[in-house]
Amino acid sequence: MASASVSGVPLLEGALVEGRWPEWFVASRQRGWADFQHLPAPAPKDEKWRFSKVKALALDSFRYPAAVADAAALVARSTGLGESAARFVFANNRLLAATAPAAGLLKAGLVVMTLEEAARQHADLVEKHFMAQEFKLGSAKYAALHRSGPVNGVFIRVPKNLEVAQPIEIFHWVEGENSAVFPHTLVVCERQSKATVVDCFRSADDEPAFACGVNDLVVEEGAKLNYVAVQQWSLAATAFHLNSTTVGRDACCLGMQVNLGGKFVRGESYSRMVAEGARSDMLSVNIAGGDQLIDQRTFQDHAKPSATSDLLYQNALTGKGRTVFSGVIRVEPGAHKTDAYQKVRNIVLSDEAEANSMPGLEIEADDVRCTHGATTAQVDDRELFYLLARGIRPEAAQQLLVMGFFNTVLDRLPDARLRGQIEGLVEKRLSAALRG
């Protein structure tokens, strides 16, 4: 890629000297850069940016960061579940540490490696699935920016019939004022395989930063993937997280987005059921406190009959926190016997917080069962009094009730240890958000 093409964009300047990427990838980058340049920036009147804050998207101040000062310290702070099948730690777009899968899993064909390495060693698979879905939910320009940028992250291939018991953990850190990072996770679960993948997005400090992340999840026939993203960027960060999921015949993908950090977070989750019997669980737990804006757009795309999608997004808002949810269930012609659910629930804990919900349906088939709904409520007075009447102090009572609200989502995670870890992180952030 000609370095001249990115001059004047501090975000990318100097970025692309990192890594050894194959020709096809460099060509993809160039396409990404061309797209980024010609695609229009979001306008306030754009339906796909309704209730959002396009002014928050000035990217001029962000730049490509130097390597982190103390890699060992960040690796030490990358504590997750304790035990995992593999663990990769990235910071400021560079790999800091990697714990490869055990020999038995490698021998069984499990691949967990950096995307850069995979782009050479598994070029066919990576090229086939890397950002293969169209970005329809409003952020095509930022998807193009990601494609043109210094993407870094992990490629996972779970071979057919292999069940990976322990989660695969990936940490992405950002450090330094106005640093920009481009995390990417690509997972291919082949037929009848099972795996759990956890992405942890963290800031090493409280500085403003920019994250432009994408994941591609491909779940083939009869496979089962649990994917959890725990976003804990600093409360000054701007972040995009664009998720694409493809679910095959009788396959099942459970995706959970947990947003605890970020000043402006734009999440887009697109899930496509491409064969009969496919199932996609789209879950999200979000805390918007202070002046955070968490803006999420979702798309449940039923291309084939007899598939299921079940979306449950829950938001707790404090301070001047804002959330936006806009979701579409689309049932394509012929996708009969679709079962699709979409529910967003907001609990508003402050007079100045604002939750916007825009559920939607586009149905072009017969004999389908689709429901959607959005609720916004405060803490229930009767429930609160019940807790107070047991001697629980008001702050603790509120915390307990909101955690109860979130538990209804967290309970959907099949892995108790992972669930416990996430519950702890949510509880900690909630406690801080409630104290303002």
Partner 1 sequence: MKHLKIDNLHVSIGQSEILRGLSLDLPTGQVHAIMGPNGSGKSTLAKVIAGHPDYTVTSGDILVDGESILEMEPDARARQGIFLAFQYPSEIPGVTIANFLRAALQARLPEGKELEATEYYAKLYEKMDLLEMPRTFTSRAVNEGFSGGEKKRCEILQMAMLQPTFALLDETDSGLDIDALKIVSHGVNSLRGPETGMLVITHYQRLLNYIVPDFVHVMVNGRIVESGTKELALKLEAEGYDWATEPEAEAVAV
Stretch that binds partner 1, among 3-11, 176-184, 320-328, 377-385 (CB under 8 A): 377-385
Among 388, 414, 420, 428, binds partner 1 (CB under 8 A): 388
Among 218, 235, 387, 422, binds partner 1 (CB under 8 A): 387
Report how many residues bind partner 1 under the rule CB under 8 A.
25
> Is residue 385 involved in binding partner 1 (CB under 8 A)?
yes
> Is residue 393 involved in binding partner 1 (CB under 8 A)?
yes
Stretch that binds partner 1, among 94-102, 260-268, 355-363, 385-393 (CB under 8 A): 385-393
> Is residue 403 involved in binding partner 1 (CB under 8 A)?
yes
Residues 132-191 that bind partner 1 (CB under 8 A): none
> Is residue 400 involved in binding partner 1 (CB under 8 A)?
yes
Specify the residue, 127 or 415, whose C-beta has the smaller distance to partner 1: 415
Question: CB 402 → partner 1: shortest distance, Å?
Answer: 9
Specify the residue, 242 or 347, whose C-beta has the smaller distance to partner 1: 347
Among 396, 412, 419, 432, binds partner 1 (CB under 8 A): 396
Question: CB 380 → partner 1: shortest distance, Å?
Answer: 8
Stretch that binds partner 1, among 16-24, 80-88, 258-266, 400-408 (CB under 8 A): 400-408
Among 362, 386, 417, 424, binds partner 1 (CB under 8 A): 386
Specify the residue, 46 or 383, whose C-beta has the smaller distance to partner 1: 383
> Is residue 390 involved in binding partner 1 (CB under 8 A)?
yes
> Is residue 406 involved in binding partner 1 (CB under 8 A)?
yes
Specify the residue, 236 or 409, whose C-beta has the smaller distance to partner 1: 409
Stretch that binds partner 1, among 68-76, 81-89, 270-278, 387-395 (CB under 8 A): 387-395
Length of the chain equals 436
Specify the residue, 57 or 387, whose C-beta has the smaller distance to partner 1: 387
> Is residue 416 involved in binding partner 1 (CB under 8 A)?
no
What string of H, E and C letters represents the secondary structure of the chain?
CCHHHHCCCCCCCCHHHCCCCCHHHHHHHHHHHHHHHHCCCCCCCCHHHCCCCHHHHCCCCCECCCCCCCHHHHHHHCCCCCCCCEEEEEECCEEEEEECCCHHHHHCCCEEEEHHHHHHHCHHHHHHHCCCCCCCCCCHHHHHHHHHCCCEEEEEEECCCCECCCCEEEEEEECCCCEEECEEEEEEECCCCEEEEEEEEEECCCCCEEEEEEEEEEECCCCEEEEEEEEECCCCCEEEEEEEEEECCCCEEEEEEEECCCCEEEEEEEEEECCCCCEEEEEEEEEECCCCEEEEEEEEEECCCCCEEEEEEEEEECCCCEEEEEEEEEECCCCCCCEEEEEEEEEECCCCCEEEEEEEEEECCCCCEEEEEEEEECCCHHHHHHHHCCCCCHHHHHHHHHHHHHHHHHCCCCCHHHHHHHHHHHHHHHHHHHHC
Contact residues: partner 1, CB under 8 A: 380-383, 385-394, 396-397, 400-401, 403-408, 411
